[in-house]
Structure 1
Amino acid sequence: MITRQDLKQLQSLSNVPALSILLPTHQTSPDNKQDPIRVKNLVDEATKRLTTEFTSRELEPLLKRLETLVSEIDYRYTLKGLALYVSHDFAKLYYLPFPVPARVVIDQTFATRDLVYGMHRALRYWVLLLSQASTRLLAGTGETLEEVDDENFPMQMTGPGATAPLPYDTDSSYRDDRHRRFFQQVDSVLTLYQNQNESLPLVVGGVERQVSFFQEVSQNTQAIAPSLSGNFDKATIHELTPQVWSIVQSVREAQQADALQALDNAMSTQSVVSTIGETWRLAHEGRGKLLLVEKNYHVPAILTEDGRFELVDQPGGTEVMDDAVDEIIEVVLAKGGNIAIVDDEALSIHQRIALVLRY
């Protein structure tokens, strides 16, 4: 799962030319057969555009990086979107759990707007499947689950009762303590991932006893959603998805209800603004505590020469913000506020957007 730290890294890089290639992809056959063709066509378009603006000597290292990066795409594991970022000293690809429009961008910085949009609009969460044999972590975005396979996960318990036999005279309390210590270790590592992702909701799965031990020692209890009961050592993504999605939908409904209640409470104290212009201004002043936005609300806008915020009819052009709503979301998050994406028409009396103020 792409993280906010990944985004910050991409947004911090500045090198001419910075090449971004984005496209929607497919997770199943036969539709995914067309993905390599679409990548090739976009790479050809990028190469053609680059060669009209730069010399072959200037482009040689970048094009080699691009060729290598394309060769690393594993089309068996594509999700709903793909993003490739290449400059003279950077190259990275991301499998995205949300679709993005197909485009080639050559600029001073990488094009990350579509990634920002996807991360904000889709519900993201973790799924932690507990087991002393192989504790697994899955990253969820909407209905898409990705297995985390890195230096930390899957995580296996070691030592007595796991990779070594228990002492002959061991009682059950010793064995239980060993499990608690292991799940405490799991929780400590999980906290590192949570810190990178704004403390996302957490679905915990496992046999009842192990889930109980984890909840006893976890520092992430506030994030824990209803749990999954059972042994998931061999469970596939396909098998897990419907069970997890059922839980996640209930989490989303609860989050929306909490956010709308917070909005009602704030209205009684007149600490809410509900026009996009006022929301823009007060968000930039750092006064946004909670931003509520309908999930399909998008609007282009400009800032005039004297700094006024104005809506426009159509996106496009260097002076136009394609989606001022996403710009506001970024500002509120950057200044320590929270975001709630709610159902369409949930904010009909608030012009589809509302900002609960800190003061």
Structure 2
Amino acid sequence: MNPVLQPQIQELIETAHYRPAVSIFLPFKPVMTSKTMLSHVIKASIDQVERQLLRDYPSEVAKLIMHKLHTLVSNINYNIYKKSIAIYVSPVFEKILYLDIEMEHKIVVDETFEIRDLLYNKKLMKNYLVLLLSGTNGKIYLGENNRLTLIVSPPLKPAYIYRNDLPERVSNFSDISERKKIIMEKFLRHTDASLRIIMDAYKLPLFVIGPERVLGHFKKITHHKAHVIEYLTGSYHEFSVNELEKLLEPLIHNWEKVKQTDLLHKINDAADKHKLVVGPAEIWKEAMCGKGKLLIVEKNYFVSAERQNELRIIPLPPHPYSKFSNIHDAIDDIIEKILLNSGDVEFVEDGMLPEYGGAVLIKHY
């Protein structure tokens, strides 16, 4: 055999041995959905896979895959508190991933596995917070798509509560505007402290709405600048919920822009707290130790590497093949580990992270 052609022929043999690769992505919430209902959806998915395999592949291969698939799903854990599952099966590989991210129902029968397919299939969730301010009061809303729900706890004290807290020399001020300014600042500081509890619980992008003067003071005292996507100036405190929803529609219409702005804010905040990791080898090391909270990576960022006890970046063919794994590059390896440890992964457009080389990891803090 021609020694020049031998590697290419071997790769073709191995690739043929590896395919077909079946991926099934499913919402999976046993706490909220009955086992009977979930089992029905899983069975329907398996039936669809079988039809596609019998149509596109030899019957022997289809039977092998179906046997492995039936064995795998018979061992699904219905007593787990997760949001979705990903089922992977090929002639040489099978695995179930239990995930804390919302997934759309999807079936993929392809030549190879791509764990990125899992992330591209994440359910789009337009979740955000809205702080509505006036000169004397404040409200915090949770936004889910185009619907707002008032968050009652912790309540925001109206500004007049702080009048009795003023020192005597202030309460006797003849300058009423100065007195109002001090009262408003006390109110805004309390509001910001209440907002901290909400932000810690939800960790969502934030929109702040209020009169120009109030927003000016809020910007000076707030500890949440890193989370604010946009300030909307105006006196909207008497708006109904429906009117507020219409007011916010243009701001959340381009959700990709909102999400990527929020991710850049998260990166800057993590850097300030010394919780930002850069470089594929360092990112891989922290992810393998279960320290990865959020991986942010450009869509077409790939890293060829091999690993023993640590990651070593090496030049490999564009699509390296391993019969012992469903992972094709170091970033896929990192993605899987982060998801299994209840972390999250977000893609951004190519060129958004040039100063970080294309990927960053935010550690738990």
Task: Give the structure-2-normalised TM-score.
Answer: 0.45
Structure with greater Cα Rg: 2
Task: Give the structure-1-normalised TM-score.
Answer: 0.46
RCO higher in structure (CA 8 A, sep ≥6): 2
